[in-house]
Structure 1
Amino acid sequence: MKETASRETHVKETANHYLNRELSWMEFNRRVLEEAQDPTTPLLERMKFLSIVSSNLDEFMSVRVAGVVDQIKAGYTKKDFTGYTPAGLFKRIMKRGAKLVAEQYKTYRELSRALGKEGIHFIEYEDLNITQRKAMDEYFHNFMFPVLTPMAVDQARPFPLVHSQGVYLAVVLMKEEYEEGLENEEEPYFAILEVPSNLSRFIEVPVRTNSKKREYILMEELIEQHIHTLFSGYNAVSVQAFRLTRNSDLILNEEEAEDLLEEIELQLRRRRWGTPVRLEVQKGIHPYALAQLLDEFEVTDNIFEIDGPLDLSYLMKLAGSLKGYDQLRYAPIQQAYPAELDEAADIFGKLRQRDVLVYHPYESFDAVTDFICQAAYDPEVLAIKMTLYRVSGNSPLIQALARAAESGMQVTVVVELKARFDEERNIAWARKLEQAGCHVVYGLVGLKTHAKITLVVRQEQDGLRRYIHVGTGNYNDSTAKLYTDIGLFTTDKDIGEDASALFNEVTGYSAPHNWKAFGVAPSDMMDKLIGKLRREAENAAQGKPARIVAKFNSLSNQRMVDELYLASQAGVKIELIVRGVCCLKPGVPGLSENITVISIVDRFLEHSRIFYFENGGEPEIYISSADWMTRNLTRRVELMCPVFDTSIQETLINILQLSLRDNVKARRLQPNGLYERVQAGPDEPLRSQFEAMRISSWKTTAPEA
């Protein structure tokens, strides 16, 4: 596949026209934090949102900020298209990051008090009664002590490897003969201790029988109280937590790698020694301990002093483990099986009659699983071809594909080994599929395969027929319960021919295809999108109906932003539903006054990509795996698939309309890069995700926005 050729646009480039990608991402994470702060959100769900803030920030620091740090170290001083040099951007990120973390921990303290009122308490060792202390002492000696490994740092023992994002304790020690208050010129001793990640971070403390109260103590608190058992002959002057984040981005030389799988395994091992990017330390850390850490990690400008437990991502597991508090959670979603396929013994027979759309998580991912499983056991199926980007830990799809290969079917699986932070899991799946006899392909050199597509080729009475599933999200039955995504089943001939051609390009040496239906990145998707934006602009100039509605996760490609500006200036009404990063400034007179941008952050992660073009009164609608980001449009194999069925087009329009009408969880982007909540005003409150749970609300005609 070749990268799309560049085009000239006529927007006068100025940094004032754009919002910075990294700062826009920080505003997104602030919106996630707002969900943790929202008193109308159930309490345990607020804990989950607070956990997500931490996880998001970890990835941001280990990848995006790490990239900025690398540029600074390389002496790169050129401004990006938003007007920032790497050094200037880093300074702004740190300033906003400090405020975000301070607000995060303020929220943590508020949630802790609220949980206390519900009988759920985080307590310290000194607050335990005698019986509880005895139980915790026994727990420490029986389950924790054998696992702990104190690591001294001195001339004979250099600083040990500190794993990225692990919680450690920095221990400052003096020999026992040192008497407090006496003059002592001896330098303290220093050691570190990893808080085991394979044990529960939070430990439930026994309470009186029949008590409704639940009490928990953190593992590091218990270790600190028993630190003397690990350093006999020494007194601990201080014991405080720290946490290091390293650069976790993989640097691959794919063209020279003889075996991509082995190269990625090598780089995963090297990731452990990634350059330090961020240091988090417990508030009030001993000056000697801090000096030791700074000397070792050489992190001077990216230090966060934390007033509370380091790494709040553990709150996700804690919230999920609490039993008997259903009133503090969202009610379980009742997923429907798609009515068009419900109780269909023969999915293929149903799909020969009509195309079918599935909207997750409101409709069950079981429909996708059943489609692939039925294909795997169908003697008339000759071949199954599928892309896998992120798969769940115990995926039934893997079992089905393996079974199909073992039974003699031609099974081809494109496994993306470079899916960030899922590399090890995907390597394991790739090996399992190969052992079963599947043809496993790792994609194209220099490109990630991010398209979500399955092709089933079946022998039928009238010849071979192709059955295709195209999705906006991963083939992952776990995240399909948490993300909003679209899946399309079709037997359309043009889509089928394009699907075969796409797999031939990815697995073989086929020349770029003249796509009949698809837009495919990096070969032609951007050109096709720009062509459609320009067509809307021409229609607006001629007085024809012109409108664009696009829903995706991020918008950061400068050319796409410029083309949207030009369409706005031509009079096209543009409504964007962008969950995360957005580099476009909406509502700027003379530039983007016809553009609105909203972001919806709610119970489920908005993940579907839907593009609507008015086309002079003959609407075109596409679903896609791609966001409008440079990496998606130029460095990944992505797919944009048209929807031809008019009833499914109407359903997708209704989904878009629901999002546009949201006045509860929607925030509107302002020209200054900040977001303001959409106010209901005289309208009835409408929460798009909760409305969509009522299934019929998006399968029937929705009112105009």
Structure 2
Amino acid sequence: MSNPWEFDSPLNYINRELSWLSFNERVLEEAMDNSNPLFERLKFLAITSSNLDEFFMVRIAGLKDQIKIGSNAPDNKTRMSASEQWDAALRRSSSLMSQQTKAWKETLVPLLQEAGLSFVSGTQLNPEQSTYVSDLFHRMIYPVLTPMAVDASRPFPMLLNRSLNLAVLIKSDAPEKEPYLFAFVQVPSVLPRFIELPTSGEGHRAYIFLEEIIRMHLSDLFRGKSIVSASSFRITRDADLILDEDAAEDLLEEIERVLNKRKTGDAVRIEVETGMHPFLRKVIEDWEEVSHSEVFELDAPLDLSFLFRFVNQGGYEPLRFPDNPPILPVDLRGEQDIFAAIRRKDILLHHPYESFEPVIHFVHQAAQDPDVLAIKQTLYRVGGDSPIVAALAQAAENGKQVTVLVELRARFDEEKNIVWAKKLEKAGCHVIYGLVGLKTHSKMALVVRTENGQLRRYVHLGTGNYNENTAKLYTDFGMFTCNEEIAEDVSSIFNQLTGYSSLPVLHRLRVAPWGLEEAFLAELDEVAAYSIEKGQGRVIAKMNSLTDKDLIQALYRASCMGVKIDLIVRGICCLRPGIPGVSENIRVHSIVGRFLEHGRAYYFCSGNRKKVFLSSADWMTRNLEHRVETLFPVLESKLKERVIEVLETQLADNVKRRELQPDGSYLRIIRQEGEERINSQERLYEWSVASVQESLHSV
């Protein structure tokens, strides 16, 4: 058995930033997987582009800030300094962007052409298309554009975060003083990024990029000038919010105050079109004060996230995944009264295989039910036109006591959440913004109802957000219950969040940051102790990310005591499996497929004792120490077995599963000849359909 102090070796860990980039590489693999329909492959490419934007805006920006202020403190696991991480992450990101470019140019563009879809340049237009583009430019594009010269009287302006621009090099009228003039044109985000062109051939559609149309007509913007060169570029800026919560009298006002800084933070990456004139590049680099390593030259359209919109065009159904509508759970089929159904037994939901509608119905029925006295709910990220927000507002207007905790600090959803908060307040809801210094990430809804002269509390707990849109794309668990101990715990947690009440000893739930990590450690220690004595310890833990050092070391200890551990970690994993004497009993799996694996489930088995928990929390230090998170047990044996079956099915996946190797790479599982094909996401949907069919036959 390894000594505990040996776990501290940097060789036992994988750097967080590089692990995240590895996840994005796995997403890019899906864009290159020819078993995926073409439009889905384009969507995966768009996801890698969007993900990388956020990585630079938050993670790279954070490292750069540390370097700037002279703080080079090492990562607590790999001991890499901030500058070492920054340098390694930039090199890996450069490689990833090169892979994106190659995927677009060499694979996906030819496949689009085979499907009758093409992107063309200005030189490839036929006369009819040229006339169409010219007319469109002068009618719809030219009036929106603002050409901007940069000289002594007109300094370089602040270009907005992630805006697409054209840098224009103009021949000077006085070359003896200066050879060139510099100007730029922002590509308007209010106009479509790609324009469909008229075509004569049936079954063929051609498109041209907006920036290409603008480039073709620069002489109309800079009349009388000789244009030498024009290239597109894009700046990514530091977008992480730094809130002074202790000094702020009103958190909402403080967030509104700092949101504008997100658009104009320091540059952390500049993407430029291949072939940009050296003069243009140097002007941009010098003005934005970036190093050469922060500039990335790309031989592909900048900002591939435009593909999200492209693949949402009508038609082309064969180029998409088949439509798999969510199934109404068996336990709720034919039920008009959701409270009656919950009284009979706990109900487990597994999205997106099963519909999110029951969650919406739960809040809607509570809003309309005359016997409901109060509703309390947390909101972290909600949909654009949320039916849950509408139901909560209606409940308040109906005279019910409605308390909503809106987490204003949900990254990149702050503005949207401010709008919801104000709407709910206007409707009469009591809106709170959580605790200073802590994001409220737990997913809870509590309904208090009077029944036969007594009060009964109904609860929904989940691993994912109350967002009907992402519930169709993310895999998550939810559970309805009216278990008295769980309901009392949820009431206590809400009292802690809304008032000055201290958290009592809870019956069934565990809450971060008040003991959740200790609860996980205790479960691991219990299985490890049992395994030493009986040799039958087993742990399966499914989460989005694993970074917490204390939990990683607890997993190492359990592994050394003979516990068989399978971790299903979608994204970041700092644990290094397969190290002799440290982690040889640990396997780490990652599933990247049609749906985003988002649910958190934890299974601890000591012989015949099986404990199953669901949670809003990943095993990350930020979740366990800086967020309000909930861990709740699955108590009914059938539901417990169902969660275990989901986990075991994912471990059997031989289509979309990758396994983390000791060297930090991921190896895709290859199905052996004659082996049954198991795509866990497809299999779980098929089971949901089959369960309904079986229930219909049994009636």
Deviation at 1:585, TM superposition (A): 0.7
Deviation at 1:683, TM superposition (A): 2.4
| Secondary structure of 2:311's aligned partner | helix
Normalising by structure 1, what TM-score? 0.96
**Number of matched residues?**
686
* 8 Å contact from structure 1 (residues 9, 559) kept in 2: no
Q: Deviations over 1:402-421 (max 9, x none)?
A: 00001110000000000000
**Paired position in structure 2 for 1:87:** 83
1:348-370 Cα offsets, whole Å, 9 max, x none, are 01111011011110111111101
Quick one: which amino acid aligns to residue 173 of structure 1? I
Instruction: Give the Cα separation in 1 of the matches to 2:9 and 2:163.
Output: 42
Measure, in 2, the Cα distance between the counterparts of 1:529 and 1:621: 12
Are the aligned partners of 1:549 and 1:574 in contact in 2 as well (CA < 8 Å)?
Answer: yes
Alpha-carbon distance in structure 2 between the residues aligned to 1:695 and 1:429: 37
Provide Cα deviations, 1:217-276, integer angstroms capped at 9, x if missing partner: 000000000011111121211110111111100000101101100100011012222111
Match of 1:305 in 2: 297
The equivalent position to 1:198 in structure 2, one of 157, 165, 190, is 190
In the alignment, is the contact (CA less than 8 A) between 1:655 and 1:698 conserved in 2? no
CA drift of 1:113 comes to 0.8
Aligned Cα RMSD in Å?
1.4
Letter in 1 for 2:409: K
Match of 1:451 among 442, 454, 462: 442
User: Which of residues 644, 649, 653 in structure 1 aligns to 2:640?
Assistant: 649
**Correspondent of 1:638 among 629, 633, 650:** 629
Question: Counterpart of 1:333?
Answer: 324
The answer as to 2:52 corresponding to 1:51 is no
Match of 2:104 among 100, 105, 108: 108
CA contact (8 A) 1:622 1:642 kept: yes
Matched, 1:121 2:124: no
Structure 2: which amino acid aligns with 1:372? V
Q: Distance in 2 between matches of 1:114 and 1:515?
A: 57
1:171 alignment counterpart: 168
**How far, CA to CA, are the matches of 1:143 and 1:392 in structure 2?**
31
Q: 1:97 aligns with which of 69, 93, 107?
A: 93
Residue 699 to residue 633, structure 1, CA distance change in 2 (3 Å) = farther
Which of the numbers 655, 675, 687 marks the counterpart of 1:664?
A: 655
| Residues 656-683 of structure 1: CA deviation (Å, up to 9, x unaligned) | 0110100110000001110001122252
* Inter-partner Cα distance in structure 2 for 1:699 and 1:342: 11
**Whole-angstrom CA distance in 2 between matches of 1:473 and 1:236:** 53
Matched residue of 1:614: which SS? strand
Contact 1:468 1:496 in 2 (8 A): yes
Q: Structure 2: how far apart are the matches of 1:552 and 1:671?
A: 20
Q: For residue 652 of structure 1, what is the amino acid of its counterpart? A: V
Secondary structure of the residue aligned to 1:197 is coil
CA distance, structure 1, for counterparts of residue 178 and residue 248 of structure 2: 53
1:141-156 residue pairs with structure 2 within 5 A? Answer: 141-156=138-153
Provide the rounded CA distance (Å) in 2 between the counterparts of 1:698 and 1:22: 41
TM-superposed deviation, 1:553: 0.4
Structure 2 matches for 1:211-226, cutoff 5 A?
A: 211-226=202-217
- The alpha-carbon deviation at position 324 of structure 1 amounts to 2.6
Change (3 A) 1:585 1:628: same
Whether 1:315 and 2:307 are equivalent positions in the alignment is yes
* 2:531–2:606 contact (8 Å) kept in structure 1: no
For residue 405 of structure 2, give the secondary structure of its aligned residue in structure 1: strand
1:396 is the counterpart of 2:392: no
| Alignment deviations for residues 404-458 of structure 1 (CA, whole Å, 9 cap, x no partner) | 0011100000000000000000000000000000000000000000000100000
- Quick one: which amino acid aligns to residue 165 of structure 1? R
Instruction: State which drifts further: 373-382 or 334-343.
Output: 334-343
Residue in structure 1 matched with residue 696 of structure 2 by the alignment: none
- Aligned equivalent of 2:612: 621
Deviation at 1:189, TM superposition (A): 1.1
- C-alpha distance in 2, partners of 1:267/1:142? 37
SS at match of 1:487: strand
Distance in 2 (alpha carbons) for counterparts of 1:699 and 1:629: 35
Q: Which residue is equivalent to 2:154? A: 157
2:123 pairs with 1:132 = no
1:380 matched residue in structure 2: 371
1:518 aligns with 2:509: yes
Match of 1:692 among 654, 674, 684: 684
Structure 1 spans left out of the alignment, 5+ residues: 1-7, 701-705
Q: 1:478 aligns with which of 449, 469, 484?
A: 469
- Cα displacement (A) at 1:697: 8.2
CA contact (8 A) 1:691 1:697 kept: no
Change over 3 Å in CA distance of 1:653–1:492 after alignment to 2:
same
Alpha carbons 2:383, 2:467 under 8 Å: kept? yes
| TM-superposed deviation, 1:104 | 0.6
Q: Could you tell me which amino acid in structure 2 is paired with residue 188 of structure 1?
A: Y
* Structure 2 partner of 1:703: none
Q: Name the structure 1 match of 2:518.
A: 527
CA distance in 2, matches of 1:699, 1:299: 57
In the TM superposition, residue 312 of structure 1 has moved relative to its aligned partner by: 0.3
> Whole-Å Cα distance in 2 between the matches of residues 513 and 89 of structure 1?
42
Q: CA deviation at 1:639?
A: 0.5
Conserved in 2, the CA contact under 8 Å of 1:413 and 1:441? yes
- 2-structure distance, mates of 1:613, 1:304: 46
Name the counterpart of 1:237. Answer: 228
Partner of 1:683: 675
Helix, strand or coil at the partner of 2:304: coil
Give percent identity, aligned residues only: 49
Superposed displacement of residue 693, structure 1: 1.3
Where does residue 560 of structure 1 map in the other structure?
A: 551
Q: Is the 8 A contact 2:243 2:258 kept in 1?
A: yes
Task: Encode CA deviations 1:619-641: one digit per residue, 9 max, x unaligned.
Answer: 01000000000100000000100
